[in-house]
Amino acid sequence: MIARYALRVGALGYLAVLLALPVALVFFRTFSDGLDAVWTSITTPEALHAFWLTIVMVAIAVPANTVFGVVCALALVRRRFWGKSVLNLSIDLAFAVSPVVVGLSLILIYSRTGWIGGWLAEQGVRIIFAPAGMAIACVFVSLPFVVREVVPVLREIGTDQEQAASTLGASPWQTFWRITLPAIRWGVGYGVVLSTARVLGEFGAISVVSGKLSGRTETLTLRVEDRFQSFDLTGAYAASMVLALLALATLLVMNLLKRKEA
Amino acid sequence: MAIDVHGVTKRYGDFTAVDELSLTVPDGSLTALLGPSGSGKSTLLRMIAGLELPDAGRVVIHGEDRTLTPARARDVGFVFQHYAAFKHMTVRDNVAFGLSIRKRPKAEIRARVDELLELVHLGAFGDRYPSQLSGGQRQRMALARALAAQPKVLLLDEPFGALDARVRKELRAWLRRLHDEMHVTTIFVTHDQEEAMEVAEQIVLMDDGRIQQVGGPRDLYENPANRFVMTFIGPVNQLGDSYIRPHDIDILEDASDGATEAMVEHVVYLGFEVRVELSLGDGERAFVQLTRSELDELELERGQLVYVRPRRSTVFSG
């Protein structure tokens, strides 16, 4: 009995000290200069731009990785093909490699002096120090989440239901939409939430490829750092709060969908 | 003929699951594919359904070569051992699946699903989800689902294998009645010889990817083609080279022509039937099935010396 309570107190205390307390302090500190200061700080053109750019990054990277993740998971679990283990390994690479290194590697490829950056520049396409490069970085760092969430679910449901659908006359496409996708929807859902959170919080790779141009290539995380470095603590805390609220909203949407299901 | 299988072979790496097998299944019949695990019976069934492609040979259904036709275009109903229920759909939507894929009118689907749910005694369960059903109910749902689009052939892969003994017995009798009503050509796979004997009109006994014998239940029991059939179907004693059914042995109290001395080791009461276990002179063992009244006449006891004489025995050459 005592051991059980001790375990609970320990776990909750750990979370409180490491997670809840700092986040709560951010909210608390944000409003210490009053509501007006916060409102002014998050409605400057630069702040609004950072907010929208962050949303755009999520809107590009998450759908791209959801489609890629589901297709990739299906291939990994259901098919045998040459290079499967290489594919498997490269997906984990996105986890293993530090985001800063990802950013640097993108510079090696896409900057004016990089592999294909020079040619792209001649075509008038700009990747580095532009939103395009930031989107590529976001796709890279959030790549594994959907795959890694969906693969175990696909393994668990097996192929019986899909085979049953095919004997009942369903084409592969119909089987995917009516049987496979509904069966893996929670895996996909968690993958989407994790990817969204990852893209919202992305800093390392983006800070390398974006050039941190305020009002042009600055996302919310970069803005937090920028405000902090400029001794604008209210601005830094306000931007942090917006980020935290976006993350909470993601979790809330997921929970609402789940409740609706049950 | 409903189904003709010609010289079909299926290999998995070095293992030959089905070996140049040919089989004919008459229209409207109820056939069991019987055999030990690894005998290739499920693989054969899945090749008929189009869930596996044979490496060689042809599968002909109702006169049309279907060897390369995908499962979805074969008009075959398939029931899986572990139900393969669509977990995110209600019972009603599960049963309606084949019809809604075929884009039948809503009213027609509703009427047909109602009719099928009645047929499988799930009329009151239409709005439940598979997780809220028992194993037997799930398998009946799967059967209704397979029958919904009126397949030409119904295939069942160990349909009762995952159910407990009582439910299994119920569903066997029920499948038999259902077949009598619907007359759809049915093949089911089982490793349980009692199940095959009880349900099927025709039994296809398989071992090592080949057919050992095809025939009615009585045929297989009384005229086994080889040693494997004799030992797989029903209990058997082996004495030297000859095989004897346990009810084909007489127990005598006195020595007589052709009788061997034996000692009673155990008398096991199984209700109406009694099993007497004997040890014979040269270390061989045998068991004899008697009725209660036969035993009462003999008054057998453990350790008693008796004489046994086979009434009928079979010797296989080679």
Cα A141 from Cα A202, distance rounded (Å): 8
Q: Provide Rg for chain A, Cα atoms.
A: 22
How does DSSP classify residue B201? S
Average the pLDDT over B36-56 and give the result.
95
Identify the closest residue of chain A to B79 by CA–CA distance: A164
- Considering only CB atoms, which chain A residues are within 8 Å of B97? 165, 168, 170, 178
Sort A6 into a burial class: Cβ within 10 Å, 0-12 / 13-18 / 19+.
Answer: exposed
Cα A149 from Cα B271, distance rounded (Å): 56
Cα A152 from Cα A73, distance rounded (Å): 9
The model's pLDDT over A76-112, given as tens digits with 9 standing for 90+, comes to 999 989 999 999 999 988 888 999 999 999 999 998 8
Query: Residues 6 or more apart from B214 whose CB is under 8 A from it?
Result: B23, B202, B203, B204, B205
- Considering only CB atoms, which chain A residues are within 8 Å of B84? 160-161, 163-164
- Any B CB within 8 A of A166 CB: yes
pLDDT at B27 over 90: yes
Query: Long-range contacts of range B236-244, CB-CB < 8 Å, 24 or more positions apart?
Result: B237/B286, B237/B287, B239/B280, B239/B284, B239/B286, B239/B310, B239/B313, B241/B315, B241/B316, B242/B310, B242/B313, B242/B314, B242/B315, B243/B313, B243/B314, B243/B315, B243/B316, B244/B286, B244/B310, B244/B312, B244/B313, B244/B314
Sort A127 into a burial class: Cβ within 10 Å, 0-12 / 13-18 / 19+.
Answer: buried
Q: Report CA-CA distances (Å) from A46 to A49, A161, A213, A222, B58.
A: 5, 52, 10, 11, 71
B149–A164 CB contact, under 8 Å? no
Query: Residues 6 or more apart from A210 whose CB is under 8 A from it?
Result: A129, A133, A134, A217, A218, A219, A222
- CA angle B261–B267–B268, rounded 5-degree value: 140
pTM for this one? 0.84
- Considering only CB atoms, which chain A residues are within 8 Å of B74? 167
- Nearest CA of chain A to the CA of B50: how many Å? 8
- Nearest CA of chain A to the CA of B132: how many Å? 14
- Any B CB within 8 A of A93 CB: no
Query: Quick one: CA torsion of B205, B206, B211, B214, rounded to 10 degrees?
Result: 10
The model's pLDDT over B76-131, given as tens digits with 9 standing for 90+, comes to 999 999 999 999 999 999 999 999 999 999 999 999 999 999 989 999 999 999 99
Interface test with B, best of A80, A159, A167 (most B CBs within 10 A): A167
A164–B74 CB contact, under 8 Å? no
A161–B84 CB contact, under 8 Å? yes
- Any B CB within 8 A of A55 CB: no
Q: Taking Cα atoms as reference points, which of A64, A94, A101, A48 lies closest to residue A209?
A: A101
- Nearest CA of chain B to the CA of A175: how many Å? 10
Cα B48 from Cα B58, distance rounded (Å): 10
Identify the closest residue of chain B to A186 by CA–CA distance: B88
B142–A164 CB contact, under 8 Å? yes
A183–B142 CB contact, under 8 Å? no
Q: What is the edge-to-edge ordering of all strands in the sheet holding B285-291?
A: B249-252, B305-310, B260-270, B273-280, B285-291
Q: HEC string of chain A?
A: CHHHHHHHHHHHHHHHHHHHHHHHHHHHHHHHHCHHHHHHHHCCHHHHHHHHHHHHHHHHHHHHHHHHHHHHHHHHHHCCCCCHHHHHHHHHHHHHCCHHHHHHHHHHHHCCCCCCHHHHHHCCCCCCCCHHHHHHHHHHHCCHHHHHHHHHHHHHHCCHHHHHHHHCCCCHHHHHHHHHHHHHHHHHHHHHHHHHHHHHHCCHHHHHHHCCCCCCCCCHHHHHHHHHHCCCHHHHHHHHHHHHHHHHHHHHHHHHHHHHHC
Interface test with A, best of B86, B102, B103, B139 (most A CBs within 10 A): B86
Task: Give the model's pLDDT for residue A251.
Answer: 87
B101–A167 CB contact, under 8 Å? no
The model's pLDDT over B233-247, given as tens digits with 9 standing for 90+, comes to 988 988 888 899 999
B146–A174 CB contact, under 8 Å? no
B102–A169 CB contact, under 8 Å? yes
Nearest CB partner across the interface for B101, out of A161, A163, A170:
A170
How does DSSP classify residue B175? H
Question: What ipTM did this prediction achieve?
Answer: 0.86
- Any B CB within 8 A of A249 CB: no
Nearest CB partner across the interface for B149, out of A161, A166, A168:
A168
A167–B77 CB contact, under 8 Å? yes
- pLDDT string in tens for chain A (262-residue length): 788 899 999 999 998 888 888 888 888 888 888 888 888 888 999 999 999 999 999 999 999 999 999 999 999 999 989 999 999 999 988 888 999 999 999 999 998 888 888 888 888 888 889 999 999 999 999 999 999 999 999 999 999 999 999 999 999 999 999 999 999 999 999 999 999 999 999 999 999 999 888 888 999 999 999 999 999 888 899 999 999 899 889 888 888 887 876 6
Residues of B contacting chain A (CB within 8 angstroms): 49-51, 70-74, 76-78, 80, 82-88, 97-98, 101-102, 142, 145-146, 148-149
- Any B CB within 8 A of A214 CB: no
